[in-house]
Structure 1
Amino acid sequence: MNNKILIVDDDPRNIFALKLTLKAKGYQIESCTMAQEAIDVLKNDNQFLVILLDMMMPEIDGYQALKIIRETPGINHIPVIAVTAQAMPEDRQKCIDAGAQDYVSKPINVDILMSAIQKLT
């Protein structure tokens, strides 16, 4: 069973916390701090269950990264959960419109995150 999750977040503390939580639940975790790095990882290995994508990152933000992922054959099928500190209703819709399957606001509620992951798998 594929249980690999890619975490993309420019804050190593967020990656650390998510990694601990998800590893404890039996997932294999890979992580990147930059969107371009994540896209390169995905092009080399498209066997991810889901991508947790921070929307506010330097250089290429989550919205641009989502657009690239959705337009790239071979990786465009991987579900993306947008993760962002922007928690207004219109932010959720903006993420869904950009191509995310779901949305989780920071600080992350683990139960909401697990529910989002399970809905997609």
Structure 2
Amino acid sequence: MMNKKVLIVDDDPRNIFALKLTLKSRGYQVESSMNAQLAFQILKDSEIDIILMDMMMPEMDGYEAVKIIRNTPAVSRIPIIAVTAQAMPEDRQKCLDAGAQDYVSKPIDVDQLITAIEKLL
């Protein structure tokens, strides 16, 4: 569990800030990105163990970003947890269909998130 690196992709700096604090307090290393393009760069340059992907972002949304990651051999095996304010069952399915392994809705339940991360790592 120690020194696992989490990449947070979210266009809201407050979400990144809160998640970083939470994850660092649990012993995770955290990288963050406010858009999908930067996330791809970080994935290329760093050893990332798991991705928290906001699904609602301007420019490129999380669904498209997840599909690109899944189609990029070097990073296609990294687990992705979709994070979205959309909490309907069909939204969850849409995230999983796009290639995410799990799903947490906003506002984020920290225990649920940590459980999801630990299950995938």
The TM-score with structure 2 as length reference comes to 0.96
CA distance in 2, matches of 1:2, 1:36: 25
Aligned pair 1:93/2:90, yes or no? no
Q: Is the 8 A contact 1:9 1:53 kept in 2?
A: yes
Aligned sequence identity (%):
71
Aligned pair 1:60/2:63, yes or no? no
Give the match for residue 10 of structure 1.
Answer: 11
Residues 101-120 of structure 1, C-alpha deviations (whole Å, 9 max, x = no match): 00000000001001100110
The count of aligned residue pairs is 120
Deviation at 1:26, TM superposition (A): 0.3
CA distance in 2, matches of 1:73, 1:2: 24
Deviation at 1:12, TM superposition (A): 0.0
* 1:35-46 matched pairs, under 5 angstroms: 35-45=36-46
User: Any unmatched runs of 5+ in structure 2?
Assistant: none
Which letter maps to 1:20?
L
The TM-score with structure 1 as length reference comes to 0.96
Give the match for residue 34 of structure 1.
Answer: 35
Give the match for residue 107 of structure 1.
Answer: 107
Q: Secondary structure at the match of 1:108?
A: coil
Question: CA RMSD for the aligned pairs?
Answer: 0.9
